[in-house]
Structure 1
């Protein structure tokens, strides 16, 4: 007999070959287990997913169906018998006092009806009017928080449901997780369950910053949240502004319903999702599901389905658990935001800093309500990781407003004659050799006269956050560059209405409108001009910050590396990029031409009489990682605030650093909001 050995030594018997279709099914079962084990290890332990969630769900369901058909084949090491993956070895392991279970998945009304039929067989009693409660299933990382006498003692990831990774220092940086429960009569011990997540705007900004540094983007907010909480430096976690929704407790509280649990969690100071709803039956559940399937893109956080739970805790206790899931709850997943398409070709886009971005041309696939025919491949390193061939069947992902990307190649479906794809060694726009340094994953064209670079620089210069030049960009920029009329943004201000009107399909009105828009751009502020110059790593916020400290291009050019780094929010990488750009002779010539054209390359900064901290009293305690006390005090005062000597009921915030003392304890006792250095900088509008 063929044997499949379990992790604890027990064995499940697989059939002899030739018994009907069982040999084929047994082979498939082994394949599925191996695939799912690899995928789970990559996802939970390595934080490097190798398989889209929807593909995993399909394979898992196939394995589950096989094991239901052949229950004698089930072994203890089957993925269906596990709650989750092993914790990372980089953190200490900690045992959960009560296990954390994962939810089974439903994908359509028939699945929901089957789930209801299963649990109703075990419940002979009457059904309450408030039978179900629906909650949005947040796309993040499950956490277990342990409190003693109301104080947070430790925090851990779900891990395998029995043992998790102890990440208390990182969790303490999440401001929606209270360090002390807001109650005068806390339980002696209590576990709080919830989901840590990265808000969508923060996620998009984080990915933009990573791409500007030539680093691979996070695949989705959940991976970003997981990667953040596994950082060994809590300061990095604090800067990424994670959020948290609490949704449950471990055990031991005298509560009657999940609805009451959510209310109590809110009273204790936790953030709970405001969109939960009690439903009397599956028909009402389906209406809730349909509403949020349409509205979920409006939310500032990711959600991949609806968690449907029996509301009464007594019923939950009676129904209990299977080995891996509660019988009284299920996750009704939203339609897939991934799909499978065929790669029919690859084009390479050249960005304003010369970065080459490969983009796969695809057979049409519908994702998140739109038809997708193109998806980014990020860079040469990502292409190598994917082992991409033209003609491959690939998994494509699109979450929210994120650009579609290829996340997996289905190598087993590759045609035999499919050629491998490699990023070109020469720029597709200008034909010059491209370069790649060891410091970054990006491949670049370094020819500053490259038409692709110039075109994207014009698009950036004309963008809304920069000079906001209506009618310039896209096809107009392409035309002006292809004719050779514009080789730098300064050439735009040499254009005349008559010359533009001579272009095919332009006409007098279009030409006049563009000249008017160019004239208006001369009045845009110095911070906007600085952003429009396209200095590497300098976004709109950083440009405004630089302009606050250096009121002219001349002042920026004269600034030393030390002076640049002294600004809160300007790190060595940004400072060096700024210094290199302003020291370049051609860039200095560009600035001279822009000044001659009437652009605003300076301003007179006025000290604000009001600001984001106007009228507020802040108290400092402990040693901040980057700011000295005088620097922090000046930062607060620039934003209109005042620094207090002691914590009182009038204190708006307490800024907490390392080795904080009695002021922190006083702040916690009074319920005064706490800020990290990074949050202070952001709140003051200087980061």
Structure 2
């Protein structure tokens, strides 16, 4: 074997391995290697291809993004037209469709109009993705062309963009694929990726997309594939232009999946009308839990032979139909904009709309987020607007219809005084921290400065404080809190614990028993777990999980309240912005006063202790230096500095000659570090941060403790269905106490699923992925064994 042959063989092996890993990760959602191993293989392939550019092939995983931007899209004529589907909007439409295909197929003889052609026909069912239809052509197993649907006959060539979609294989897996295979499906954008992308666009002051479908379409029609490559697109096949791959629609999809083509995990085969309706209802119920938008369900006669017998109309196949869900977007008129005050004082504009039916619900209000969003939309009172509603999510205005704007339309303006208390309204300042510097800019949020003297802020703060996941004080609902605030009996959370029997019984709706029950509930809430208390305080950006992290790691309110941002950032899942929010909350004199007042009222925190043993000695000098974010100093440079100086004191005392002696430290980087350390404020912060690491035992000089890991450390559990002997909250609490993370959805990373009564899609997903499933009795036995 020649040297070139050997290199070719290495390249082919690497490409095959990476292709298989892509299939496991993107199509099956069941990765078989860690990310680091995948990255190592990818870098190895890149290196070999750079050394041997003449051996690079079009189907190489490194070729997903290549070439210069296009000046325009060329046209592609579809060998087989991409037809539309007929629509059903009611059960009667579906009944007519099933009856029609049953009469023409293997059901009752034609002419027997009174026969029920129900269970005779099998249907392949899939959710109807709200994306962009595309066709992808493979020749000899290699992706050679991709095109949009266009007018059904001619589409646009988007090959360079489709190649960037990670779950689209550049080369088919397996064997026995035809010489030419045209795969058809939808390109869509998952909701999580859509929200993250829009958030980035807002941060960059760019226009966000109105919905995932627009985002997918806009991303696919980029002339520069490098832009498309940054968008979180996915592809899902619904079939092939060839009808001879298998004898049924479902078998065709399974064959495509074996060749590496992603297909819907929700695909099912059902019989007759009842099977179709049950599938439609099931998808409708689960629609809002999916990570992608669907606007209906597609039903196709499963038998390819029957499909051929049924044939086509002018624009659509007779053997398929899309049963649409109620519309989630409608047009209506913006009648007014009102401003609401939230728990943190944020002033939020709310649209008052001419009532309209959206997704089966009458909508008269919609969120507008903030004034920046109003400006982006170009919104004026009196405008006709498009309103979108998705499940339980608050409806929102996504678009203005400018051609319908009336002559008397009025601009929307932020009030200068709080609509609740009359205090001043101020725009927040946005602090961006990067490379050791802070820059200020105007934020998107406006706040009332009245704090707890503002009735709206006080009411919202109290509602949060007494809620189930916070202090869990039964009997204190919104109407009762309204009375307490309006009668000025409560002006801070601490005042709840000062309520007397006389004050409570004087409230509307209270008698002797209900009064005593409320006072007993208040007394019972005085011994909360530390995490609950932290969550109840309403610290900005600190949700239930972050509160648990703070309690579990720093151990006590005393430690948490004095923790510096530089210390907090070493905790799991606590970033720079959250760290500063926590620090600023406890440094604020008003907040500190409220906390101390609560403690004086008899709050006794449970579960307090020391800083977690796992944090002891967890911060290295190199990591500490890297945290400064000095320009030019990343992980490797920080490691060299740490090894060279050994201690922070020596580094702080270093002069120019000392820094120039550090191996491979560029002069520009040394200068930036010198300037950073000469700044008195920076030196003070660095020394204070080191001192706190010593106090908390996290410093590199502290000996690490090799503690015994929790029994379920590193495992992810999912609870589904109804448990009879435990509440969901109690089960979650016990699992977390054993070290497990409790997630809301099942994935390949799930360790165990606990399935109670009436467990649904999560149980089915776990069974598909081969994940361990426990019923309630087995779960209780497992808890008893581990505790």
* Fold match (TM-score > 0.5): yes
Larger radius of gyration: 2
CA distance in 1, matches of 2:72, 2:605: 55
Could you tell me which of 440, 453, 470 is aligned with 1:466?
470
Q: How does 1:206-355 map to 2 (within 5 A)?
A: 222=213, 246-249=237-240, 254-265=245-256, 272-274=264-266, 276-278=268-270, 287=277, 291=281, 295=285, 297=287, 300-301=290-291, 302-313=293-304, 329-355=320-346
Contact 2:145–2:157 (CA under 8 A) maintained in structure 1: no
Per-residue deviation, 1:297:
4.8
Contact 2:469–2:532 (CA under 8 A) maintained in structure 1: yes
Contact 1:101–1:324 (CA under 8 A) maintained in structure 2: no
Contact 2:346–2:445 (CA under 8 A) maintained in structure 1: yes
TM-score by length of 1: 0.61
Query: What is the count of residue pairs matched by the alignment?
Result: 533
Report SS of the residue matched to 2:238: strand
Per-residue deviation, 1:433:
2.4
Determine the structure 2 residue equivalent to 1:164: 158
Per-residue deviation, 1:299:
5.0
Confirm or deny that 1:456 pairs with 2:437: no
CA distance in 2, matches of 1:202, 1:517: 43
Contact 2:219–2:227 (CA under 8 A) maintained in structure 1: no
Could you tell me which of 561, 565, 569 is aligned with 2:569?
565
Determine the structure 2 residue equivalent to 1:500: 504
Could you tell me which of 519, 522, 537 is aligned with 1:518?
522
Confirm or deny that 1:538 pairs with 2:542: yes
Cα separation, partners in 2 of 1:252 and 1:303, compared to 1, 3 Å: closer
**Which blocks of at least 5 consecutive residues in structure 2 are unaligned?**
1-67, 111-116, 429-440, 615-633, 640-699, 701-705, 716-747, 751-768, 772-787
Deviation per residue, 1:562-590 (Å, 9 max, x gap): 22222332221111211211221222222
Cα separation, partners in 2 of 1:393 and 1:98, compared to 1, 3 Å: closer
CA distance in 2, matches of 1:156, 1:138: 19
CA distance in 1, matches of 2:314, 2:770: 43
CA distance in 1, matches of 2:338, 2:195: 24
Deviation per residue, 1:336-367 (Å, 9 max, x gap): 12334443333211111221112222333233
Cα separation, partners in 2 of 1:291 and 1:510, compared to 1, 3 Å: same
CA distance in 1, matches of 2:179, 2:504: 77
CA distance in 2, matches of 1:227, 1:472: 49
CA distance in 2, matches of 1:391, 1:299: 35
Contact 1:98–1:162 (CA under 8 A) maintained in structure 2: no
Report SS of the residue matched to 1:363: strand
CA distance in 1, matches of 2:495, 2:597: 9
Confirm or deny that 1:598 pairs with 2:592: no
Determine the structure 1 residue equivalent to 2:725: none
Contact 2:333–2:385 (CA under 8 A) maintained in structure 1: yes
CA distance in 2, matches of 1:509, 1:236: 62
Report SS of the residue matched to 1:441: strand
Report SS of the residue matched to 1:400: coil
CA distance in 2, matches of 1:224, 1:542: 31
TM-score by length of 2: 0.54
Confirm or deny that 1:553 pairs with 2:534: no
Per-residue deviation, 1:401:
0.6
Cα separation, partners in 2 of 1:580 and 1:641, compared to 1, 3 Å: closer
Determine the structure 2 residue equivalent to 1:576: 580
CA distance in 1, matches of 2:207, 2:546: 22
Determine the structure 1 residue equivalent to 2:362: 371
Cα separation, partners in 2 of 1:166 and 1:178, compared to 1, 3 Å: closer
Residues 446-455 or 411-420, more deviating: 411-420
Could you tell me which of 79, 99, 106 is aligned with 2:87?
106
Contact 2:165–2:234 (CA under 8 A) maintained in structure 1: no
Contact 1:134–1:279 (CA under 8 A) maintained in structure 2: no
RMSD over aligned Cα atoms: 5.7
CA distance in 1, matches of 2:538, 2:203: 11
Confirm or deny that 1:640 pairs with 2:713: yes
Determine the structure 2 residue equivalent to 1:488: 492
Report SS of the residue matched to 1:375: strand
CA distance in 2, matches of 1:107, 1:352: 45
Residues 444-453 or 193-202, more deviating: 193-202
Contact 1:521–1:599 (CA under 8 A) maintained in structure 2: no
CA distance in 2, matches of 1:412, 1:208: 29
CA distance in 1, matches of 2:714, 2:77: 45
Cα separation, partners in 2 of 1:592 and 1:112, compared to 1, 3 Å: closer
CA distance in 1, matches of 2:159, 2:381: 41
Could you tell me which of 478, 485, 490 is aligned with 2:482?
478
Contact 1:209–1:537 (CA under 8 A) maintained in structure 2: no
Cα separation, partners in 2 of 1:159 and 1:98, compared to 1, 3 Å: closer
CA distance in 2, matches of 1:500, 1:155: 74
Confirm or deny that 1:419 pairs with 2:413: no
Contact 1:265–1:272 (CA under 8 A) maintained in structure 2: no
Contact 2:163–2:170 (CA under 8 A) maintained in structure 1: no
Per-residue deviation, 1:404:
1.6
Cα separation, partners in 2 of 1:292 and 1:598, compared to 1, 3 Å: closer
Determine the structure 2 residue equivalent to 1:666: none
Contact 1:436–1:442 (CA under 8 A) maintained in structure 2: yes
Residues 443-452 or 508-517, more deviating: 508-517
Per-residue deviation, 1:402:
0.7
Per-residue deviation, 1:168:
7.8
Cα separation, partners in 2 of 1:566 and 1:473, compared to 1, 3 Å: same
